[in-house]
Structure 1
Amino acid sequence: MSAAKRPPASGSRARVRLGLRVLRDWRPTVAWVKSLLRSFATSFVVLAATLWLLPGITSGGLVSMLWLVVLVAAVGAVLRPAMLAVATIAGGYVALLIGICLQATVIYVALLLDPNAQISHFSLAFVAAWVAAALSAIVHWIADAGTDDAFLAETLRRMTRSRQPAGQARPPGLLIIQLDGVAAPLLQWAVRAGNLPQIGHWLRSGRYRLRQWHTGLPATTPAAQAGLLHGVADQIPAFRWYEKDVRRLVVTSRPGDAALAERRLSTGDGLLRHDGVSISNIFTGDAPTSLLTVSQAALPTRSSAYAAFMTSPYGLARGLVLGVGELLKELHQARLQRRRRVWPRVARGGAFLLLRPVTNVLLRDLNVSLVAEQMARGAPTIFCDFVDYDEVAHHAGPARHEAMAALEGLDRVVGILSRLAAHGGARDYRIVVLSDHGQSQGAPFRQRYQESIEQVVSRLLRSEAVEETAGATADVEGWGPVNTLLTSVTSHGGAAAAATRAATRTRSADGEVALGPAERERRAIADADADAVVVASGNLAMIYLTGLPGQVTCQRMGQEHPGLVRGLAAHPGIGVVVIATEADGPIAVGGDGAHRLRDGEVRGRDPLAPYGPRARADLLAHQACAHVGDLVLISAVDPDTEEVAAFEELVGCHGGLGGWQTAGLLLHPAQWSDPAGDAELVGPVAVHRLLARWRDDLGLGPHGETGGGSGGGDSEGSGADEVSGGLPQSAERVPETPR
């Protein structure tokens, strides 16, 4: 079988082999030492409580108690690697039962052998052993559920259950991991600092190459994924926008709006159309299977990983343990920012206390479980978005300690997925890591100037008899994944769905879960019938004059609102105002000059100079987007710090221009070729073409899989050279996680 992975063994044999691999790969670590100390403290408290509760047993004093604790803790530390292997083979609950039996035996023998212990009845020693062992094992079980090793072992065990049976040779699969919001320069910096061992190992070993790509405008997830997944770049003008013809606010984090946008995007030729899988994305990429995808959230999901994750001790228990830890961590980190007077900063209480544990624990682990399930089933191409870093960076700052810790967590996720691909996939999976955009830092516009952007617009229009200005500038992005998850849960039957429906009373007109401000803003704008609507996406804002049909030109603006453009351009927080003209096309106006985008002619001081050499092309392309605003605003950027002023209440933002928000990353096997050579990739459509080419070279393209049939087995052998379109096998194989 040189041309294929070896067929898998039977289910029990495969689980035993995986368990032995987990045991072989285990190494003592700092975390193991911490668990040993935790075990010592837990055993002392549990044994003391047990002996106190059972009046028929008394210990010989503190020294005797410490002897019992040391013995129990030592046995537990020695057996923990074996318990991980048992959990892989038999499951977490069986490991829990075995652990209780072993600890009960140890405690029972220790009590009998302790000359200082006084036992009124022989059976009491037996009872005490089981009570203490049960309490101790449950505590350790819950705590161990939060470790990556336990989670990996349980996920591998589930993969062996659903792995496809042996068959004809299969070409390698393609796993695309999106690290939402991570800028290429930031990732390079983290690698140099030694904070990303997995990605750093890939790069330093020469197996992978890191490239930067320019996202263009808008630098948002929906616009990037429209290009990455569908190869379309002119339908998404921002994260949210207003459609004047139907007087509707569109927010792409709302499932109904995302579905509307995808209907306009999709040509049926998306990146994932050939039996691909979309996980936790905004759009599907025409994938036949979509899991936690916003545009498909209201549709029933066919995935056994949902139920397995929620009922597994390493799903729900791990989520509970780490989620509480993430909540406490957020409270502590926010307090430190206030005490140290870190600036800029925003309030980090309220809804963010819920969003961070959900996005950085529950959704992350659920995504890993869903990816593992699809790899076990042999899905050809998988595209999954992880939002951990993006959500934390919005509120803490893109280069702050909290955000960098979230990035380190994503590096561990990449390592876990690489190990899952190597040991449990039905194919040899090749991994590509990319981001959809970066982030730029700065104090929010409202903090700097004591008024919001909609208040500025309202003030400038008030003298011109404009009755009302409505705004959509609240932070809505983080609610998208949460609402998608909850909407997916409520679409199923059972007690969990009923409980979720009862707990989430806020719903959209389409019946979707609509927590957060997006639905509130949509209704407010619809009810207000405002003359002007201001919509923000990071440091990009668009103004729509609802009483004037079509896109308003500079000449018409001068007739209807002569002071608006001049007033906005003169504001110290606004760097550029873009407006269309009848004869010269769109122009970018600043406080002391103007830049004609069509040919680059500049009058006075160039307002685009602080935004880099691609600003003119970015703004010109943005003007061609559907439903672009009558006025497009980009906040001012500090020439020394490259800080921007988000029109939303965010420290880290993206959507406009300035700083690292347009610096996406692409990490791929080093010997995979690009017809353009080392030329910079500009725009998500260019990255889409490259990904599609690599997919086709692997034999996963329009003509189907060259090997056909179904495959399976472990990844110790591979004949992918015959089906990988000439890609060098040495560069493609999934590297092992560094130890």
Structure 2
Amino acid sequence: MAALNSWRPWARLRTAIPVLLLDWAALSIAIAVVPGLSASTGWDVLLAAVLLAVAAAVLRPLLAAFAARLGWAGVVAGWLSIQAVLVYLALSLAPHIQVSGFWPAFWASWIYSTLVSAGMWVVTAGDDSAVLAHLLRTTRKTRSQALTTTVPGIVMIQIDGLSAPLARWAIQAGNLPTLTRWIRSGSHRLVEWHAQLPATTPASQAGLLHGAAGHVPAFRWLEKETGRLVVTNHPKDAEYVEQGFSDGRGLLADGGVSLSNVFSGDAPISLLTMSTVARRGARRGPTREVSAYLVDPFGLTRSLVLTAGEMVKEVFQARRQRARDVEPRVHRGGSYVALRGVTNVLLRDLNLNLAAEHMMRGAPAIYCDLVDYDEIAHHAGPTRAESLASLDGTDWVLGTLEKLAASAPRPYHLVVLSDHGQSQGATFLQRYGMTLEALVRRLMSPDGTEVATAPDNEQWGRVRALLTEVSGEQRVVGKLTDSVLRAQEEPPAPGSPQGADLVVVASGNLGMVYLARERRRLTLEEIEARHPNLLTGLVTHPGVGFAMVRSSARGPVVLGRDGVRCLADGRIDGTDPLAGFGPHAADDLSRHDTLPHVGDIVLNSLLDPATGEVAAFEELVGCHGGLGGWQTRPVLIHPAAWTASTSLIGADAVHRQLVGWLADLGLRSPRPGVADPAGREEG
């Protein structure tokens, strides 16, 4: 704490001077270009900039608190008008500045805020002091009201999609300064764990947060018994799935906070989490601290300016990838351009603000999923330059949280982990000119079989969660965002699952085929009798690595083009179809065969032994879900002093390890119903 106190005055002075000069320049430009505003001298504008800073310091917290009481509608109105009101007051009070009315000040405030946001990015590039000062300022009152304790808390940051081999390389190269410092200093230790099939965020988070990975067979699946097509990043489906395994004792049950996850971990406070955003009765308006961030020029306006910059950068990088003929690649246009800006800037900034708020409240455990890297790696490739650059932003978040912890009402340990890795490769469609669905249809008898495909919408999950969180407010903004949310929903699939003969779903390079007329899983013998060309055609196709089906005589069997492996007794006839897919492949498939709602046929794409590339059944150059490559090799970075298991197989095992650490710190209550082991009232 002493080091932070000695650093803080210098950091404030180092930040305040360039910020004042930047405010002066931005306000001068705004006055010069907006009709109805004029100033006699530059010194008058400087005085106005000082008055604006004073007015903002005094009035903005009060206005933000009032906006929070009005809910999200008040926040949106405040974001649009509060800065304009402050600019109008500052210009009106400054001598020798003429203001013809409120509207010139309104437009000047937007020009001013945009210029300040862009300028601050340049001035503070590589320096987190301005962001840190902002977070400490907006959470000052929260911190003053929190109960101080010496019991440490844990902040768990999930870097979605980061594989252990890539993490090791980036740390060894020194590309991630915060993580590199932790590992090299010996304060933290990096270990690899194995993500069992399916290597997807929903399955891993069901395990990490609830110890229930066995309830999620894929990213999307068909419940044959009910005819329900489940897509886990639809809020209602995520809530439905969590209700099936939650026992009230998840990882975050004892006063924890869930931020931007698929499942809640039974956290009392759950924000931007898919399984909870649809619960209208549990939704509240924004807190004062969040409102302060959103209505501050350094908050939402800054994030939007940087989001626009990220979108421009994406257009340039995609064009450069095409110009250089980088292969493999996928189309990176349209909605993805906006999606990258939102996930890589706006959501990251919002998550940082929310984590800071709850650290200053003294939350015992916080779990936050940062999706920046995973999203870009899907479209650019997991080892491409733009994907690695996003990791730098995540590392910056870790460094900021580390500094924030020094001012929190309790000490905090930071744990970094991922849910899966990613594997690269040209897609199945790019390689063979047809989708997996089209191949299955062609191999079946040509009787006009109707095919239903699950919507390909993993990328929009976090945005949907954000929109649903906002739309829960039954006010003006709720109605507006409800319409946006409906617009983002995919059109109905060609044929509802209930009426389709065949449903084919894909999760990266994992595919599942459902012969949907039967409300039960069909056996190998039944599939062969009904569609004699289907299994042979699939396993001999060059884009398919293997297929798993259940035999009534031999149990689960894995079929390859040159051999068959019986999972029950390990017998191999011919060439082992799982050779090259890793030491855990047979165990993973044996376990996957027992999960509920597994397809009649489970397919895994090819694995190129020379490059380690796979062929996603979705249009993603970086993918995860099946076997092959780095997708099953996530990472766990924890304080080196903590005892950790030497063999972490599956997300459930990591969950048990995390729960054990919480218990060692005194943060795990021995009985259900004890909300907060630190004894605080939940506010």
> What range describes the TM-score normalised by the shorter chain of this pair?
0.7 to 0.9
Shift of residue 287, structure 1, vs aligned partner: 1.4
Question: What is the match of residue 394 of structure 2?
Answer: 410
Q: Does 1:442 align with 2:425?
A: yes
SS of residue in 2 equivalent to 1:341: coil
Any residues of structure 2 matched to 1:493-532 within 5 Å, and which? 493-506=474-487, 515-517=488-490, 520-521=492-493, 524-526=494-496, 529-532=499-502
Match of 2:451 among 469, 478, 499: 469
CA change 1:41–1:380 in 2 (3 A) is closer
Please list every run of 5 or more consecutive structure 1 residues that lacks an aligned counterpart in the other structure: 7-16, 60-67, 109-122, 507-514, 713-739
Which residue type is aligned with residue 448 of structure 1? R
Shift of residue 645, structure 1, vs aligned partner: 0.5
Match of 1:682 among 639, 649, 664: 649
Q: Does 1:569 align with 2:539?
A: yes
CA change 1:294–1:50 in 2 (3 A) is closer
Q: Distance in 1 between matches of 2:253 and 2:110?
A: 51
Which residue type is aligned with residue 25 of structure 1? A
* Alpha-carbon contact 2:258-2:269 (below 8 Å) kept: yes
Q: Distance in 2 between matches of 1:494 and 1:93?
A: 19
SS of residue in 1 equivalent to 2:444: helix
Match of 1:481 among 462, 475, 485: 462
Q: Does 1:335 align with 2:319?
A: yes
Any residues of structure 2 matched to 1:612-623 within 5 Å, and which? 612-623=582-593
Q: Distance in 2 between matches of 1:457 and 1:51?
A: 65
* Alpha-carbon contact 2:557-2:567 (below 8 Å) kept: yes
Provide Cα deviations, 1:613-654, integer angstroms capped at 9, x if missing partner: 111111111111100000000000110111100000101100
Q: Distance in 2 between matches of 1:655 and 1:133?
A: 49
Q: Distance in 1 between matches of 2:108 and 2:536?
A: 75
Shift of residue 354, structure 1, vs aligned partner: 2.2
Match of 1:178 among 148, 158, 176: 158
Which residue type is aligned with residue 687 of structure 1? V
Shift of residue 145, structure 1, vs aligned partner: 6.0
CA change 1:459–1:636 in 2 (3 A) is same
CA change 1:664–1:285 in 2 (3 A) is same
Shift of residue 499, structure 1, vs aligned partner: 2.4
* Alpha-carbon contact 2:548-2:556 (below 8 Å) kept: yes
CA change 1:90–1:351 in 2 (3 A) is closer
Question: What is the match of residue 732 of structure 1?
Answer: none
* Alpha-carbon contact 2:114-2:301 (below 8 Å) kept: no
Q: Distance in 1 between matches of 2:634 and 2:251?
A: 19
Match of 2:333 among 349, 354, 377: 349
Which residue type is aligned with residue 471 of structure 1? T
Provide Cα deviations, 1:554-585, integer angstroms capped at 9, x if missing partner: 11122111111110000000001001112221
Q: Distance in 2 between matches of 1:559 and 1:301?
A: 52
Question: What is the match of residue 727 of structure 1?
Answer: none
Question: What is the match of residue 716 of structure 1?
Answer: none
Match of 2:357 among 373, 385, 388: 373
CA change 1:18–1:168 in 2 (3 A) is closer
Question: What is the match of residue 112 of structure 1?
Answer: none
CA change 1:52–1:286 in 2 (3 A) is closer
Question: What is the match of residue 143 of structure 1?
Answer: 118
CA change 1:395–1:139 in 2 (3 A) is closer
Provide Cα deviations, 1:681-738, integer angstroms capped at 9, x if missing partner: 11001100100000000001123699844499xxxxxxxxxxxxxxxxxxxxxxxxxx
Match of 1:221 among 190, 201, 204: 201
CA change 1:232–1:46 in 2 (3 A) is closer
Q: Distance in 2 between matches of 1:545 and 1:612?
A: 30
Q: Distance in 2 between matches of 1:478 and 1:50?
A: 40
Provide Cα deviations, 1:572-604, integer angstroms capped at 9, x if missing partner: 000010011122211111111111112322111
Shift of residue 267, structure 1, vs aligned partner: 2.0
Match of 1:211 among 191, 196, 220: 191
Provide Cα deviations, 1:151-205, integer angstroms capped at 9, x if missing partner: 3322212222112646574511111111111111111111222221111111111
Q: Distance in 2 between matches of 1:133 and 1:350?
A: 31
Q: Does 1:432 align with 2:418?
A: no
Q: Does 1:301 align with 2:276?
A: no
Shift of residue 520, structure 1, vs aligned partner: 2.6
* Alpha-carbon contact 1:169-1:707 (below 8 Å) kept: no
Shift of residue 87, structure 1, vs aligned partner: 6.2
* Alpha-carbon contact 1:168-1:709 (below 8 Å) kept: no
Q: Distance in 2 between matches of 1:287 and 1:686?
A: 20
Report how many aligned residue pairs link the two structures.
647
Q: Distance in 1 between matches of 2:109 and 2:676?
A: 54
CA change 1:585–1:51 in 2 (3 A) is closer
Shift of residue 266, structure 1, vs aligned partner: 1.2
Provide Cα deviations, 1:48-83, integer angstroms capped at 9, x if missing partner: 7699997x98x9xxxxxxxx89x999xx9xx9xxx8
Which residue type is aligned with residue 457 of structure 2? V
Q: Does 1:492 align with 2:467?
A: no
SS of residue in 2 equivalent to 1:668: strand
Question: What is the match of residue 661 of structure 1?
Answer: 631
* Alpha-carbon contact 2:60-2:292 (below 8 Å) kept: no
Q: Distance in 2 between matches of 1:540 and 1:239?
A: 9
Q: Does 1:24 align with 2:10?
A: yes
* Alpha-carbon contact 1:93-1:313 (below 8 Å) kept: no
SS of residue in 2 equivalent to 1:316: helix
CA change 1:41–1:157 in 2 (3 A) is closer
Q: Distance in 2 between matches of 1:669 and 1:213?
A: 16
Which residue type is aligned with residue 258 of structure 1? A
Any residues of structure 2 matched to 1:620-631 within 5 Å, and which? 620-631=590-601
Mean CA deviation greater in 596-605 or 404-413 = 596-605
Provide Cα deviations, 1:37-57, integer angstroms capped at 9, x if missing partner: 989996996797699997x98
Mean CA deviation greater in 547-556 or 279-288 = 547-556
Which residue type is aligned with residue 655 of structure 2? H
Any residues of structure 2 matched to 1:235-384 within 5 Å, and which? 235-299=215-279, 300-302=282-284, 303-304=286-287, 305-384=289-368
SS of residue in 2 equivalent to 1:234: helix
Q: Distance in 2 between matches of 1:414 and 1:655?
A: 27
CA change 1:709–1:534 in 2 (3 A) is closer
Please list every run of 5 or more consecutive structure 2 residues that lacks an aligned counterpart in the other structure: 65-81
Shift of residue 504, structure 1, vs aligned partner: 3.7
* Alpha-carbon contact 2:278-2:468 (below 8 Å) kept: yes
* Alpha-carbon contact 1:168-1:710 (below 8 Å) kept: no
Q: Give the TM-score normalised by the residue count of structure 2.
A: 0.85
Q: Give the TM-score normalised by the residue count of structure 1.
A: 0.79
Any residues of structure 2 matched to 1:599-638 within 5 Å, and which? 599-638=569-608
Question: What is the match of residue 668 of structure 2?
Answer: 701
Q: Distance in 2 between matches of 1:144 and 1:294?
A: 35
Matched-pair identity in %: 46
Which residue type is aligned with residue 472 of structure 2? S
* Alpha-carbon contact 1:165-1:711 (below 8 Å) kept: no
Q: Distance in 2 between matches of 1:174 and 1:326?
A: 31
Shift of residue 438, structure 1, vs aligned partner: 0.6
* Alpha-carbon contact 1:180-1:390 (below 8 Å) kept: yes
Q: Distance in 2 between matches of 1:262 and 1:462?
A: 38
**Runs of 4 or more consecutive aligned structure 1 residues displaced over 4 Å after TM superposition:** 17-21, 26-29, 35-54, 86-97, 123-128, 130-140, 144-148, 704-708
Q: Does 1:189 align with 2:158?
A: no
Q: Distance in 2 between matches of 1:498 and 1:549?
A: 39
Q: Distance in 2 between matches of 1:498 and 1:51?
A: 35
CA change 1:87–1:187 in 2 (3 A) is farther
Which residue type is aligned with residue 544 of structure 2? I
Q: Distance in 1 between matches of 2:544 and 2:347?
A: 36
Which residue type is aligned with residue 163 of structure 1? R
Q: Distance in 2 between matches of 1:520 and 1:696?
A: 46
